[in-house]
Amino acid sequence: MKDRYSRQELYKPIGVSGQKKIQSKHVLIIGCGALGTMNAESLVRAGIGRLSIVDRDYVEISNLQRQQLFTEEDCLKQLPKAIAAKEHLLNINSSVTINAYVMDGTSSNLPPLMEDVDLVIDATDNFDIRFVINDLIHQYTIPWIFGSCVGSTGMSYTIVPQETPCLQCLLDATPASGATCDSVGVISPAVQMVVALQQAEALKILVEDDESLRTKLVTFDLWNNMFHTMDIKRAKKNTCPTCGENPIYPKLTYESQTKMEVLCGRNTVQVRSKREVHMEELARRLSEIGTVHQNDFLLSVDYHSFRVVIFKDGRVLIHGTNSIEQARNIYYQLVG
């Protein structure tokens, strides 16, 4: 196995010493969809020492077009994405330590995972969690590589606490589009381009070559042959509540956490709950209203025109509605 990383070590900016640094580092990926799976595979093939993956969802057939780690068998088993990813990644490189967390990342459960992390990679699909991450990485002083894509477009930016503008500063300067993959679609090359940009920056950070980090925001549109870089250093604000002179990290307060949310473009409502779920008891009860499908991590049941998926951590996905009120009623009817 001594030649495993030989081609990477031959690249002078990494070399043997850089490879040793990579193997000593810990990366946290939040989100395990298209960006997450590709980032995770690249890091595992590069020989990262430890990789932690956080994701709240499970594998569905529509994921397979662009989420390259997953298979049809994962869909049939309704495996949580983090678990399926871990299994496949270990088959690629068994020497990597991989932690899989089936949970919705929040300001309550993410801090313990930040304690010994060298880098956070953004692979999420909404700005609620991104703003939480933005506050956390500044609180813990961890570099973070932002990335997003939709349609044939994408963007990436490397955020270094105390040095660069934060996500809030960035979006104040360059407002984000309201489009999502679920509403307008996405092509795989756009995902691959964002991941390439993120991974190049990740390797620089992991080998501690900070001078080579890209300092500009990159945006592109592959279909329309556009590639643009923007210098946003001036976007950093001294009054910013996250990265300014007197940070208060506003997105980490309890009041700012979403308890029930519509998952954009998916005709689905997610309900968060801290109550303990007794899966076997719940499965027996729900079997009276429909066929229950269950694995070690979740159970699902069809209820009228809805599909209800309940995770062990108390989260519930109610597919078939965008109405929070309707979802709340279904939740109380089934879960209690």
135-145 tens-digit pLDDT: 999 999 999 99
Contact 54, 101 (CB under 8 A): yes
Condensed to tens digits (0 to 9), the pLDDT of residues 81-98 reads 999 999 999 999 999 999
Torsion, CA 231, CA 28, CA 143, CA 203, rounded to 10: -70
pLDDT at residue 259, rounded to an integer? 75
DSSP SS3 for 243 = coil
Condensed to tens digits (0 to 9), the pLDDT of residues 142-163 reads 999 999 999 999 999 999 999 9
- Confidence band of 182 (pLDDT split at 50, 70, 90): low
- Residue 294 and residue 284: Cα distance in Å, rounded? 11
Average pLDDT, the chain: 91
Domains of the chain: 6-252 (3.40.50.720), 258-334 (3.30.310)
Distance of CA 126 to the CA centre of its chain: 9
pLDDT at residue 178, rounded to an integer? 56
Count Cβ atoms below 10 Å from residue 216 Cβ, excluding itself.
Answer: 14
- The residue that leads in pLDDT, 296 or 39, is 39
Condensed to tens digits (0 to 9), the pLDDT of residues 259-292 reads 778 887 789 999 887 667 788 888 888 888 889 9
DSSP SS3 for 161 = coil
- The residue that leads in pLDDT, 21 or 171, is 21
pLDDT at residue 257, rounded to an integer? 64
pLDDT at residue 277, rounded to an integer? 78
DSSP SS3 for 64 = helix
- For the stretch 235-257, what's the b/e string if a residue is b when 16 or more beta carbons lie within 10 angstroms of its beta carbon? bbbeebebbbeeeebebbeeeee
Q: With the C-alpha atoms ordered 186, 192, 196, 198, is the resulting torsion angle positive or negative?
A: positive
